[in-house]
Structure 1
């Protein structure tokens, strides 16, 4: 966030003596000054959502760029940049002091985001609208690839990576072209899905987190001792492959099972992909050894299966389990699944709507 705002201020500072109200910001209907004010308002709003723990709607306040009581005019271009620096600093301070498990309201697409999501949205606002303003003012701008990559792998999980992160982000938001891809005319970012269970929350794993898990990291989660289990790392690797191929659908990906009592992850659960043409979604799961035998997998499986079956495009949830894995068979049966087939090494289970 700090890097994004600093790059914005440094770039736009080159044109501080230009009339920002005289030209449109890139392809937007706003002029350059209106666009800068929008960015400041977005950063302040995100800080307010997290700081106030808003759950149902945006906190009803907004920013205005008025003159002060001494007659000074902070609405000149230098003043606008100062407001951008200030609202960016407020969001950074809020991100640093907000616990990881806190989520606050944001409408798209699942009506909440955590601090990582708000950080990514804030960076996106800064990067894209700095590009818009710079384009309108006729000055060059390109952020670091790492910033664009961080945004793409956190809140654009459905977008297949392109030749460079910045070119991909511009294309994904209707601001540029990529060879072999149709122009984008309608877009939204996608924060991770969170599904509540009895003593857990199932938190969608982003491509950024999946890459870290695949490489031996913790994916940004605090795991109980012994975690994450190897099955979760394998599933994270499959998620990364799907993301890189452009076929990842975040709601049909992998979820970390996080205890509500202490915010620690105890396992992973997820789908093998989107439902097939018959409306069947295949599911799999594992638990860290220290969390087994406590009912966590059953609770999570009930919650995630019900979430899937509540959708119009799902008719059944399917799972396979080794013939000698009696504990996992018990999890499926307690979650309401029925054995529907058997092979040489596995049993097949299904839960229908």
Structure 2
């Protein structure tokens, strides 16, 4: 199949180019993200490959259907950006990569925790300026701390395993409890109890109507003063304005995020020569106890190779007319 790959970066090309020769597909790499302004670039292709911030809303899907593009492969796990009802209406098949390297994201979440807890990001900058003072760099031990994990799918499980290895008490909340994690010593609680008892809270749940703004003014009030919040899942799990207020009152002692509610026009781009017009992320970056990375938790060689392999597998099944292993559709 001829595939138009949107929102492409160099690391996408490298991972796909290694595997494409083993498959009967031709990829055209496009740098622009997919939206109503760029969807016309899909004309003449059999399928498109999209990423997390590409638009797959009703107008875009309608245009794709008009262009006779009826196959979409997502090179990501989340699909909250897809209007599944319209996709079904237009007869568009959609597949995703349900899991690539859960360890990659879990390890990045812990990298944020360790950087914040030991202030290594600050120490790095100081030493580069020949400042070897330890003033203001006192951190805290993770051993013995209580970590709350919201969402215990593949990434959440990997995160729990790491936290247990650090000697932490691990609490978890999920609609489906893992017997494996319970055996390992993880304790499942209701969400409110988890929020009240956790000194560190890490988010590993999908973005759904029920989880949007899970961290908000009300839930923040339940947390202990000085709590650390980590988000490597989806930006809209956090209500940014409430988190900013909680940082100002020191309710939140540390914040580490790899995703951001309004990241679409910021992340995956070099804006170093521009003035950021997003006042909320500018405010977040002004806090000394906030660490932000640009949606890089997934970015390991192992994860990229798995994403490419699964995406090409999905295209193989689509072309062969097989039952789709990783299809995304409305539950009947």
The normalised TM-score by structure 1 is 0.25
Compare relative contact order (CA 8 Å, sep 6+) and give the higher one, 1 or 2: 2
